[in-house]
Amino acid sequence: MTTKTLLLAALLAGVALPASVLAQDFDPNASIRIGSLYEPQNLDNTAGAGQGINEAFNGNVYEALFQLTDAGSVEPKLVESYEASEDGLTYTFTLKDGVTFHSGDPLTSADVKYSIERVTAEASKSSRKRSLSTITGIETPDDKTVVITLSARSISLPYNLSYVWIVNDAAADITAVEDGTGPYLLGEWRRGSALALERYDGYWGEAPTNGEVVYTYFTDATALNNALLTNAVDVITSVQSPDSLAQFTGNPAFTVTEGASTTKELLAYNDRVAPFDNVKVRKALARATDKARLLNSIWGDYGTLIGSFVPPTDPWYVDLTGVDAYDVESAKALLAEAGYPDGFEFTLDTPDYDPHPIVAQFLQSEYAKIGVKVNINIITANEWYTKIYQEKNFEATLQEHVNHRDIVFYGNPDFYWGYNNPDVVKLVADAESAGSEAEQVEKLTEANKIIAEDAAGNWLYLYPQIVVSAANVTGYPINGLNSQFFAYDIQKSE
Amino acid sequence: MNTLSTGLAAGGFAFLAPLLSAGQSARNSIILAYTIRRTLILIASLFIAAVVLFVLLRLLPGDPANALLGVGATEQQIAAARAQVGSDQPLYVQFGGFIGNLARLDLGTSFVSRASVLEEIGNRMAVTLPLTFFGFVVALALAIPLGILAAVRSNKWYGAAISVISQLGIAIPVFWVGILLVTLFSINLRWLPSGGFSLKGWANFGEAITGMILPSLTIGLVMGASLLRYVRAATLDVLGSDFLRTARALGASFPEALIRHGMRNGAVPVISILGIELASTFLGAVVIERVFSLPGLGSMLLLAIQQRDYPNVQGVLFISTLLVLLIGFAADIAQRLIDPRLRGRGRVLA
């Protein structure tokens, strides 16, 4: 070795040194404690476990053929490659090599078939069951190949498959145990309290940057905030009490991040019944709502105003906040045109949990200005489901809709709000059978504009998605789309 | 050991056995007869409680199937969920199944979590029972010495002060005391955790017991305040009694007279109150669990009610009722052991 190369090596080492120190800046075996309000009720996402199971298990314990990333794109996860036939009715998926379940079994096409059929099964309570109903057959020509045939084109198939956990076909009941392919396996679990995930050493992909994740569950937002304040948890998945933010924002010991949310606060009318079957009445109520003031009074500087049901992270978003903007005088004029110059009276079925009761009172005072009297009827979440979702027995209601890409509900005239516009029904159906994503986006953008013009509902605001963590913790997802909370990139410095 | 004390030992009342074996047989047979009568009343009360429970729960609007489904569920999914939880069955069929299972002590499995209700209650008891116990110990440790002091020194300023402060303690809601203690000891002083329970349970004893301190203190302070007033009143009664004056006249010193004659007499009303207080401590534990995010019976019950998870609600309430009735039962028996005057009477106190 010459002096020159030695020097070069020394230089390189010198350059590399700080980088390696930087890489070791976090503890690779750290235990990350995540505080959440959403405790899973069981461990099976097709058995009514609630949103908490997606938060803890999606991408962490179970993986799907595709993954909805925190940025909102759909990317292959357990598939190496896939192709669709010319007519869009046959999809052939090739699975990744070297993937094993936590029990040690290798991933095969039979597991994929089993897993999809679990979701479409009669007993399944998965919210994705309807969207996968176009699947007519699943073939497994060899261990690594899955062929899915459809009754109609379905451009969202990869997206919908991102909800389908790939479960070992040898696992029977997974309500209390798991057998997934993800970077973590289930450790200790105490119902009502906490659930621990431990790093799976046989993981096929990149290893997590921490050793263990403990999801700790709280029933009370104040107790959750106290836990972060007292260093009992490292990060809170989503802050639900706006008042509590002040104690974190000014404090250098904490990091407050606002991501993009998909949770929409909605005043839904029953469009089947008078006077809400009249588009002018719906537009009048939209114009009589000072949404900026409402959002500010609830969330201060956080949250986003929306002009329709579509959040900015959906590909078919367009800014529609200008449609039926706040204008009390024109609201009165529209009401008179609709035949209600002296206003009317209606009952607003209001879920008993935050923020709905406050929103209801706000709307009551807003609509009094145009002569519309609102009678607030407080109901529980369970009653909401029976009275409104099932029986459709209501005039108007408040509800938060959490899902990503859920504009398609407006294409279903039987949905609880009863909005029925044949153009929208057709656009939503055409979008699903579109030949390309560009075409799908075009159709849904068009549908989006129509529902806004029709004032199909009154989209009050988009919730902020706020994650608060201790300052020494980084790498967590900030958008939490579909309640997912990927833990594998979280780093904790000493 | 006689049959009664064997029975009591099997029922977890082993601490009463020495008292019994020391007694005479006539006394024992009176107490035995009373115990049998009291047991029958206990069973009848349990049955009535079960019926009330079933009816009240079904009067709540909402369907248990709803907790299993989200927005997006189809008609078929709703029907299948109703069939799974049995909410599509007529009420009398549901009632028959419920009472039949109860008689076999089968509390079923949760609609939502699919876990065995009895097993889950067992896990939750590991939090609620110690919490009740520690809370009660704190309450007793405060109430008995301070209550007696407040009575004996009622004419001194500190006697009056104890009395006034205890009144304040009764007026404050238990959850508010919890919030105050968290603010002081967890957030400001950082001495104790603000809530939660060790993931490994009592296997991690240190962590589990540390998590119990603030909630126990909260319950103990509030329960202790009301108990203190009973102790004070009972002591004042005894202080003005003829027998105490007679004992003093016969040459006993004041502490001697108070301990030998006063305590036993004062204990009778206090024990009946203790039974009620222990029951309310248990119910207080259920409330305080929410403030401290403890995975006990209370948090299980609240969630189960929200979800109309009938097996869980019924299970928790049934077991809680059973415990409260057993506490009343034990208090009644204990009173008769202490006070011979009550033995001839069939009065049921709780």
**Locus of tokens 């923020």:** A355
CA distance, residue A383 to nearest chain B CA (Å) = 5
Supply the pLDDT for residue B201.
85
Q: What is the pLDDT of residues A135-149, one digit of tens each?
A: 999 999 999 999 999
The answer to whether the beta carbons of residues A467 and A259 sit under 8 Å apart is yes
CB contact under 8 A, A227 and B62: no
> With bands split at pLDDT 50, 70 and 90, how would you rate the model's confidence at B344?
low
| CATH at residue A75 | 3.90.76.10
Closest CA to A156 of A117, A130, A118, A124: A130
Same domain? For A228 and A321 the reply is no
| CATH at residue A366 | 3.10.105.10
| Residue numbers in A near B78 (CB within 8 A) | 390
Task: Report the C-alpha gap between A320 and A308 in whole angstroms.
Answer: 7
Across the range B67-88, mean pLDDT stands at: 79
Final residue before a domain boundary, out of A95, A129, A162 = A162
Closest CA to A483 of A166, A36, A62, A32: A36
Same domain? For A301 and A371 the reply is yes
Distances, alpha carbon B175 to alpha carbons A284, A379, B290, in Å: 45, 25, 9
3-state secondary structure of A378: strand
In chain B the first and final C-alpha atoms are separated, in Å, by 28
Across the range A351-358, mean pLDDT stands at: 90
Q: Does residue A7 carry a pLDDT above 70?
A: no
Is A40 among the domain residues? no
Task: Report the C-alpha gap between A280 and A284 in whole angstroms.
Answer: 6
The answer to whether the beta carbons of residues A284 and A231 sit under 8 Å apart is no
3-state secondary structure of A443: helix
| CATH at residue A220 | 3.40.190.10
Q: Which residues, 6 or more positions from B115, have their beta carbon under 8 angstroms from its beta carbon?
A: A42, A175, A176, A191, B109
Q: Whole-model pTM? A: 0.83
Supply the pLDDT for residue A77.
96
3-state secondary structure of B109: strand
Across the range B305-330, mean pLDDT stands at: 87
Element (H, E) at B98: helix B91-103
| Residue numbers in A near B70 (CB within 8 A) | 127
Is A430 among the domain residues? yes
Is A15 among the domain residues? no
Is A354 among the domain residues? yes
The answer to whether the beta carbons of residues A72 and A481 sit under 8 Å apart is yes
Closest CA to B81 of B103, B59, B65: B65
CB contact under 8 A, B199 and A194: yes
Q: Does residue B13 carry a pLDDT above 80?
A: no
Same domain? For A128 and A226 the reply is no
> With bands split at pLDDT 50, 70 and 90, how would you rate the model's confidence at A43?
very high
- Look up residue A49 and give its two tokens: 């476990």
Task: Report the C-alpha gap between A186 and A79 in whole angstroms.
Answer: 24
Give the residue on A whose Cα is nearest the Cα of B306: A382
- Look up residue A75 and give its two tokens: 């990317």
Is A123 among the domain residues? yes
| Residue numbers in A near B72 (CB within 8 A) | 127-128, 130, 403, 409
Supply the pLDDT for residue A411.
93
Same domain? For A429 and A316 the reply is yes
Supply the pLDDT for residue A24.
54
Of all residues in chain B, the percent with pLDDT exceeding 70 is 90
Pairwise pLDDT comparison (B103 vs A118), residue with the higher score: A118
* Mean model confidence pLDDT for chain B: 82
State the DSSP code for A342: T
Q: Does residue A5 carry a pLDDT above 60?
A: no
Closest CA to A299 of A466, A459, A457: A466
> With bands split at pLDDT 50, 70 and 90, how would you rate the model's confidence at B9?
very low
Across the range A477-494, mean pLDDT stands at: 90
* Mean model confidence pLDDT for chain A: 90
Across the range A342-371, mean pLDDT stands at: 94
Of the listed ranges A4-18, A178-192, B176-190, the least confidently predicted one is A4-18
Same domain? For A403 and A435 the reply is yes
Task: Report the C-alpha gap between B43 and B8 in whole angstroms.
Answer: 16
The answer to whether the beta carbons of residues A433 and A152 sit under 8 Å apart is yes
How many CB atoms are closer than 10 A to CB A433? 17
Task: Report the C-alpha gap between A327 and A329 in whole angstroms.
Answer: 6
Q: Does residue B121 carry a pLDDT above 50?
A: yes
Q: Does residue A11 carry a pLDDT above 60?
A: no
CB contact under 8 A, A227 and B113: no
Of the listed ranges A22-26, A253-257, A453-457, B226-230, the least confidently predicted one is A22-26
| Window 308-327 of B, Cβ < 8 Å to A | 308
Is A47 among the domain residues? no
Q: Which residues, 6 or more positions from A198, have their beta carbon under 8 angstroms from its beta carbon?
A: A184, A185, A186, A187, A211, A212
- Backbone φ/ψ region at A363: left (φ over 0), alpha (ψ -120 to 50), beta: alpha
Same domain? For A211 and A335 the reply is no
Supply the pLDDT for residue B24.
62
Q: What is the pLDDT of residues A360-373, one digit of tens each?
A: 999 999 999 999 99
Mutate to test the interface with B, among A382, A384, A397, A416 (most CBs of B within 10 A): A382
Same domain? For A217 and A350 the reply is no
In chain A the first and final C-alpha atoms are separated, in Å, by 40
In DSSP notation, B33-59 reads HHHHHHHHHHHHHHHHHHHHHHHHHHH
Pairwise pLDDT comparison (A235 vs A482), residue with the higher score: A235
Q: Which residues, 6 or more positions from B180, have their beta carbon under 8 angstroms from its beta carbon?
A: none
> With bands split at pLDDT 50, 70 and 90, how would you rate the model's confidence at B33?
confident
In total, the C-beta contacts within 8 angstroms joining chain A to chain B are 146
Task: Report the C-alpha gap between B178 and B131 in whole angstroms.
Answer: 14
| Residue numbers in B near A381 (CB within 8 A) | 306
Overall number of domains in chain A:
3
Closest CA to A195 of A55, A45, A59, A64: A55
Closest CA to A212 of A237, A176, A183, A241: A183
Same domain? For A415 and A310 the reply is yes
Whether the bond into A275 is cis, omega within 30 of 0: yes
Share in percent of chain B as helix, strand, coil (round to 5):
80, 0, 20
The answer to whether the beta carbons of residues A402 and A263 sit under 8 Å apart is yes
Q: Does residue B161 carry a pLDDT above 90?
A: no
Q: Does residue B216 carry a pLDDT above 60?
A: yes
| Residue numbers in A near B297 (CB within 8 A) | none
- Backbone φ/ψ region at A347: left (φ over 0), alpha (ψ -120 to 50), beta: beta
Pairwise pLDDT comparison (A16 vs A54), residue with the higher score: A54
Same domain? For A305 and A355 the reply is yes
Q: What is the pLDDT of residues A286-329, one digit of tens each?
A: 999 999 999 999 888 899 999 999 998 888 999 999 999 999 99
Q: Does residue A23 carry a pLDDT above 80?
A: no
Q: What is the pLDDT of residues A433-455, one digit of tens each?
A: 998 889 999 999 999 999 999 99
Same domain? For A243 and A308 the reply is no
Supply the pLDDT for residue B23.
52
Across the range B68-75, mean pLDDT stands at: 76
- Look up residue A79 and give its two tokens: 């598939």
3-state secondary structure of A216: strand
Of the listed ranges A85-94, A464-473, B162-171, the least confidently predicted one is B162-171
Q: Which residues, 6 or more positions from A118, have their beta carbon under 8 angstroms from its beta carbon?
A: A46, A124, A167
CB contact under 8 A, A382 and B61: yes
Q: Does residue B314 carry a pLDDT above 70?
A: yes
- Backbone φ/ψ region at A13: left (φ over 0), alpha (ψ -120 to 50), beta: alpha
Pairwise pLDDT comparison (A28 vs B331), residue with the higher score: A28
A106: domain range? 63-162
3-state secondary structure of A461: strand
Across the range A242-247, mean pLDDT stands at: 82
Supply the pLDDT for residue B267.
78
- Look up residue A210 and give its two tokens: 């921490």
Same domain? For A321 and A399 the reply is yes
The answer to whether the beta carbons of residues A350 and A379 sit under 8 Å apart is yes
Whether the bond into A355 is cis, omega within 30 of 0: yes
The answer to whether the beta carbons of residues B64 and B83 sit under 8 Å apart is no
Is A386 among the domain residues? yes
Q: Which residues, 6 or more positions from A253, have their beta carbon under 8 angstroms from its beta carbon?
A: A470, A471
| Window 174-193 of B, Cβ < 8 Å to A | 179, 182, 186-187, 190, 193
Of all residues in chain A, the percent with pLDDT exceeding 90 is 71
- Look up residue B240 and give its two tokens: 């003005």
Q: What is the pLDDT of residues A393-435, one digit of tens each?
A: 999 999 999 888 889 999 999 999 999 999 999 999 999 999 8
Across the range B229-234, mean pLDDT stands at: 87
- Look up residue A10 and give its two tokens: 């020394």
CA distance, residue A381 to nearest chain B CA (Å) = 8
Task: Report the C-alpha gap between A189 and A195 in whole angstroms.
Answer: 4
Is A444 among the domain residues? yes
Same domain? For A363 and A435 the reply is yes
Strand partners, A93: A82, A146
If 0-12 CB within 10 Å is exposed, 13-18 middle and 19+ buried, where does residue B91 land?
exposed
Report the range out of B43-47, B137-141, B230-234, B252-256 with the highest average pLDDT.
B137-141
Query: A400-430 burial, b for 16+ CB within 10 Å, e for fewer?
Result: bbbbbbbbbbbbbeebbbbbbbeebbebbeb
Q: Does residue A14 carry a pLDDT above 80?
A: no
Task: Report the C-alpha gap between A199 and A208 in whole angstroms.
Answer: 7
Q: What is the pLDDT of residues A257-294, one digit of tens each?
A: 998 888 999 999 999 999 999 999 999 999 999 999 99
